[in-house]
Amino acid sequence: MSPTVKHVPTTPFDDQRPGTSGLRKKVRTFRQPGYLENFVQSVFDSLEGFRGQTLVVGGDGRYWNLEAIQVILRMAAANGFGRVLVGRDGLLSTPAASAVIRAHRAFGGLILSASHNPGGPDADFGIKYNTGNGGPAPEKVTEAIYAASRQIGEYRTLEAPDLDLSRPGATELGGMQVEVIDPVADYAALMERLFDFGAISGLLASGFRIRFDAMHAITGPYAHAILEQRLGAPAGTVINGTPLPDFGGGHPDPNLTYAHDLVEEMYGPDAPDFGAASDGDGDRNMILGRGFFVTPSDSLAVLAANARLVPGYAGGLKGIARSMPTSQAADRVAEKLGIPCFETPTGWKFFGNLLDAGRATLCGEESFGTGSDHVREKDGLWAVLFWLNILAVRREGVEAVVRTHWAEFGRNVYSRHDYEGIPAEAASGLMAHLRARLAALPGTDLDGNRVAYADDFGYTDPVDGSTSSGQGLRVGFEDGSRIVFRLSGTGTEGATLRVYLERFDPDTDRHHLDAQEALADLIHIADGLAEIRARTGREAPDVIT
């Protein structure tokens, strides 16, 4: 007998507005009775036409992932979905979820992840809805979800036991089919279509040594299957490759601060030729050469400039898109290629329309995100394979490729300074004070740098005309340098101030300089303008990337 649908009365929570990438909160917030259910029901209530359709569900394996998935399966059945595709053990990396949604023409997907944020009972959890194009719901959808969450009076679920998700296969839940799928298969097949696996295998067989740090997170199984099993990299190439619910107590964020195992090896004696790391849900990437760090902004520019070497992109790029705080290195490549470069607000969701409309092929963000029109999420392993494919063709090291790029295009020296966990009032006070100063800045001189413009970034989507305002305070100088100030939309505690610093330098004699050294005067100006130390009480940033 089919389990009956239960209509459970509930009252709204007032904090369910999705941020930069879905709803991210502490696990204890999500575990409040009805909290997850309210949000999931609000997603379903804001959608139309999904009856009998397919939903994709999976997450990054963090603490509480499986429990949340069981709740979602019962609710999806009670709400009338026809089929759910769920990754084995509830696992799906974010880019793989996007690939599965697209490959199976699903109605949409629910992805459980707080990305690079730590996991565990006292750490973070998250959920986001992706639409049928495989990408994060655009703002009009997330705002509709939020509106629904403010009015919710009941959610629908089933009285049914948990399902076994440990083995691929199909089962039935309240009239809905549940198919447990191999989380890697669709994704690996897609990678094989885009990249020259033969050339990459050849590079690896030639003695070129690589290391991939999965940071105890979701990319472990993907990297084992693709790098070691299909491409023949030696066992041990993938480190920290078993997903753990608390990511081994670490912070699964692939940057110089948190990916310390990899960084130590890549900057140590006898370092491998190439190093990379990905984050909690597999959409971010960090690329390193031997003793050399590639900024995410430079990585996007290098991939764009070399895309013709890679089979999936050999036909050329339609355009490039980057988030506003990302450096303008990619703009220079786009100009040379004679293709457009779009500047969007922070958040992968803003790339979706450009990709769907065929106006951009490659996208990237300073926050260690790079991707293309192959899915609608940024994609960590994809970026690694793209780099390996380029290196396999060029037969040069990472540092040589980047330095040659700088010599040709000039260097956009770049850094981001993060001040984490500052009191929300101090952060909003700092931004309000700075915003009030903007109008008077153009034409003034700051430590010998003349301000060309100062504004609060707003965006009009060129495809559907939708607008987004208040997306970051920009101060631009006459020599093209920029300082951008933003508050993060992904944190779960207090506020995180991000200060983005950029200076263009065409002079190869200065390309050896450390970014902090080359940006020292801008760093000083940023503190003076925003009164960072005075208002946050911090002497230095928590994280510098």
Among 25, 102, 116, 503, binds ligand G16 (CB under 6 A): 116
346 binds ligand G16 (CB under 6 A): yes
What is the torsional sign of CA 270, 274, 279, 285?
positive
CB-nearer residue toward ligand G16: 56 or 158:
56
The piece of 148-156, 227-235, 342-350, 517-525 that touches ligand G16 (CB under 6 A) is: 342-350
98 binds ligand G16 (CB under 6 A): no
Least Cβ distance, residue 217 to ligand G16 (angstroms): 11
The piece of 78-86, 235-243, 395-403, 488-496 that touches ligand G16 (CB under 6 A) is: 488-496
Q: What helix, strand, coil percent values describe the chain, rounded to 5?
A: 35, 25, 40
471 binds ligand G16 (CB under 6 A): no
Contacts of 533 by beta carbon, 8 Å cutoff, 6+ apart:
527, 539
Residue 23 CA to residue 37 CA, distance in Å, equals 13
What would the two tokens of residue 299 be? 């990585």
Q: Which of 115, 278, 323, 481 is catalytic?
A: 115
Least Cβ distance, residue 424 to ligand G16 (angstroms): 14
Q: Which of residues 158-197 bind ligand G16 (CB under 6 A)?
A: none
Among 367, 370, 389, 481, binds ligand G16 (CB under 6 A): 367
327 binds ligand G16 (CB under 6 A): no
CB-nearer residue toward ligand G16: 186 or 418:
418
Choose among 411, 392, 143, 379: nearest CA to 284.
Answer: 379
Per-residue string for binding with ligand G16, 508-527, x by CB under 6 A? --------------------
Residue 74 CA to residue 80 CA, distance in Å, equals 10
Least Cβ distance, residue 430 to ligand G16 (angstroms): 16
345 binds ligand G16 (CB under 6 A): no
Choose among 181, 159, 170: nearest CA to 109.
Answer: 181
Choose among 10, 14, 27, 20: nearest CA to 128.
Answer: 20
Burial category of 157 from C-beta neighbours within 10 Å (exposed 0-12, middle 13-18, buried 19 and up): buried
What would the two tokens of residue 417 be? 């300074």
DSSP 249: G
488 binds ligand G16 (CB under 6 A): yes
Helix axes 380-394, 185-194, angle to 10 degrees: 30
**Residue 355, H or E segment:** helix 352-356
Choose among 103, 104, 97, 127: nearest CA to 115.
Answer: 127
405 binds ligand G16 (CB under 6 A): no
54 binds ligand G16 (CB under 6 A): no
498 binds ligand G16 (CB under 6 A): yes
DSSP 312: G
344 binds ligand G16 (CB under 6 A): no
Helix ranges, 414-481 (H): 424-438
Q: In this structure, which amino acid lies at residue 488?
A: S
Q: Which of residues 253-292 bind ligand G16 (CB under 6 A)?
A: 279, 283-284
CB-nearer residue toward ligand G16: 115 or 219:
115
61 binds ligand G16 (CB under 6 A): no
CB 483 within 8 A of CB 501: yes
The piece of 56-64, 100-108, 392-400, 487-495 that touches ligand G16 (CB under 6 A) is: 487-495
CB-nearer residue toward ligand G16: 135 or 272:
135
CB-nearer residue toward ligand G16: 272 or 472:
472
Least Cβ distance, residue 459 to ligand G16 (angstroms): 13
41 binds ligand G16 (CB under 6 A): no
- How many residues touch ligand G16 under the rule CB under 6 A: the total is 17
Least Cβ distance, residue 367 to ligand G16 (angstroms): 4
**Residue 193, H or E segment:** helix 185-194
490 binds ligand G16 (CB under 6 A): yes
Partners of 369 in the β-ladder: 284, 365
Indicate if 115 belongs to the active site.
yes
Least Cβ distance, residue 268 to ligand G16 (angstroms): 28
382 binds ligand G16 (CB under 6 A): no
Among 44, 63, 313, 348, binds ligand G16 (CB under 6 A): 348
* 426 Cα distance to chain centroid: 27
| DSSP letter for each residue of 6-24 | EEEE----S----BTTBEE
What are the C-alpha distances in Å from 61 to residues 67, 174, 490? Answer: 11, 25, 19
Just list the catalytic residues: 115
Q: Give the interface with ligand G16 as residue ranges (CB under 6 A).
A: 20-21, 115-116, 279, 283-284, 346-348, 365, 367, 369, 488-490, 498
